[in-house]
Structure 1
Amino acid sequence: MFPQSSQKKFWTFSNEQQLNSLRLQQNVTYINTHGSDMNQEQRDDFFLSSIEERILLKQYELYLNDFCRRFEPPMPKCVVGTAFHYFKRFYLNNTPMDYHPKEILATCVYLACKVEEFNVSIGQFVSNIKGDRNKAMDIILSNELLMMQQLNYYLTVHNPYRPIEGFLIDIKTRSGMSNPERLRPHIDEFIEKTFFTDACLLYAPSQIALAAVLHAASKEQENLDSYVTENLFLAARDKLPVLIEAVRSKLKFGNHK
């Protein structure tokens, strides 16, 4: 499904440079629009640089993860993954100087709940927010359409959780590992770390899933090399070097928070 998806076609990018270029472009456009009557020194003092925007958004990614972790009722993992997708996509085409990350964060999570069919009412949702909940409700509902527009209405997100389940079943069937379930804590930790990278905008969910499984296996001192080379890539040996390099790159992303 992923190869034919809107996520693959419109929201998966070739490299980090492409992402950084989009972010820089948004920053420059905003500053040129709102600081046309300022000299360069005034602009530097008044506006955030592209690097400062990235630091700010990284902080709000931590808040997003913490909000989802504390949410009641407990939030499915797929909702968290989809919310992070939306948050990262939104700020490829917008700047935090124009749309405050705190408001966009809540809107991303609320929309992700709907799309992933995690049925909570807006009242239940804002009960998890500290402060003025009526104001929060108004902000979220007023931003919901904006969010969908900025995502070009491509709301379906393919997360790595489904291929992870497939890998674990396959490992139990075709490898010598007796209890693949013991890999799960390390897998979950790895996937959570990828939320704070651009991995979901650069790699297929199956690549992220495989990297998570291999990372977990190494943590448990299990060797899955023969399983990968003899089973997964048997029909595509000519592509093996490229696939392995993609997985190795993913491991680097996942280990960098």
Structure 2
Amino acid sequence: MATEDERYRTSSQYRLWSFTPANLQELRTKTNSLAKQQIAPRLAADPPPDFLTADEELRLVRFYTMELIRAAQFCELPTEIRSTAAIFFRRFYATNSVMTYPPTELLKTSLFFGCKAEGFYIRLSKLAEKLSGTTAEQILAGEYLLCQGIRFAFDVRHPFRALEGAILELKRKYPDQEARISKAHARAREILKFSPLLTDAYFHYTPSQIMMAALRMVDTELVDMLVPGPPSNATDDAIGAHTNLREKILGVIESCRSMLEEERPERMAEYWDTPETTKAMRPLRKKLQKCRDPDRVDLVALQRARREQAVKKPKPAAPEEPDVFGGSRDVKRRKVGGTDDVFGPPL
């Protein structure tokens, strides 16, 4: 039977959306550079505007991810829907620039498509009504763009199930510590609902590693219980191999924990919901307004133009159907007996 790790390595999340930090940085730099090259001629500005850097784009993506989370909470969408939508949004802007496609529109599309991907039914009109100043057409306008941008990888593996399994295992092994484990469970779940979505954790770590990192933020000893040391009756070689493997596992978990620490759940109120943060983001948002792609800023108009272009495109002439009996067919109808009777002349 395949292990959980082996099954994960067959997923589109691992094959298409897992990167080393260096590779992800290189991808974002390339995306930013290509966007500048494509947008500059369309703006026809002399001198050209001051374009966003790759780091500034990442700051804006994080800001708009937070806006997406707020919108999901306002719309009372379940946790997994919110998480899937946020990951779709961040994947899209790994290979597309915020200067090319407007994040204010794509976050709405991500929310709706996150519902569809997770099998959660919500009427499009109801979602548009909840998102003030939004029409159903605006939400749908970026849907195909989003699908292309995430490479049609709709399966998102979250760490929530891994957490439930770990908690069940801990309660089974240590029934006398159920209160402690339950408290850690609730806190770790709060972390998983926020911290991995605002960071690059999903790009670098497996769901189980993210879960362990969140649990380590709450109670380090519980992680040690889940990743125990070598058995006492093992040989020296087995002890050495087990110790090396355990240190490697804990090293990865600790690295992920450090990343999650950058965006603890408290920062939602202490940082992202403060007037100081809004003020600090204002210059970047103004800078974005000056260097956006004028041909793609209105996704509804872009979609209509593409639809009209597809309709106007001439269709190739259908080939003449050959006569199965050979020769050419006379498609003209012959008049029978000079009568207009549809059944022919009388016998």
Structure 1: how far apart are the matches of 2:16 and 2:109?
21
The one of 56, 61, 85 aligned to 1:57: 61
Q: CA deviation at 1:35?
A: 2.1
The one of 22, 33, 37 aligned to 2:38: 33
Amino acid paired to 1:35: A
Q: Which residue of 1 aligns with 2:272?
A: none
Structure 1: how far apart are the matches of 2:166 and 2:206?
15
Give the unaligned 5+ runs of structure 1.
none
Q: Residues 121 and 25 of structure 1: is their aligned pair in 2 closer, same or farther, counting only changes over 3 Å?
A: same
Q: Is the 8 A contact 1:186 1:215 kept in 2?
A: no
- Map residues 8-23 of structure 1 onto 2, 5 A cutoff: 8-14=14-20, 16-23=21-28
The one of 186, 194, 197 aligned to 2:196: 194
Does residue 69 of the first structure (1) align with residue 85 of the second (2)? no
Q: Is the 8 A contact 2:212 2:223 kept in 1?
A: no
Number of residue-to-residue matches in the alignment: 245
Does residue 169 of the first structure (1) align with residue 168 of the second (2)? yes
Q: Which residue of 2 aligns with 1:87?
A: 89
Using the TM superposition, name which of 201-210 and 178-187 deviates more: 178-187
Does residue 101 of the first structure (1) align with residue 103 of the second (2)? yes
Q: Which residue of 2 aligns with 1:210?
A: 212
Q: Is the 8 A contact 1:174 1:227 kept in 2?
A: no
TM-score by length of 2: 0.65
Q: Is the 8 A contact 1:190 1:255 kept in 2?
A: no
Give the unaligned 5+ runs of structure 2.
1-6, 264-347
Larger % of helix: which? 1
Structure 2: how far apart are the matches of 1:101 and 1:157?
20
Q: Residues 122 and 36 of structure 1: is their aligned pair in 2 closer, same or farther, counting only changes over 3 Å?
A: closer
Structure 1: how far apart are the matches of 2:38 and 2:100?
11
Q: CA deviation at 1:47?
A: 1.8
Identity across matched positions, percent: 26
- Map residues 176-187 of structure 1 onto 2, 5 A cutoff: 177-179=177-179, 180-187=181-188
TM-score by length of 1: 0.87
The C-alpha deviation readout for 1:125-182, integer Å capped at 9, x for no partner, is 1122012x32xx1122121111112211110110001101101101101235223221
Q: Which residue of 1 aligns with 2:341?
A: none
Larger Rg: 2
Using the TM superposition, name which of 156-165 and 146-155 deviates more: 146-155
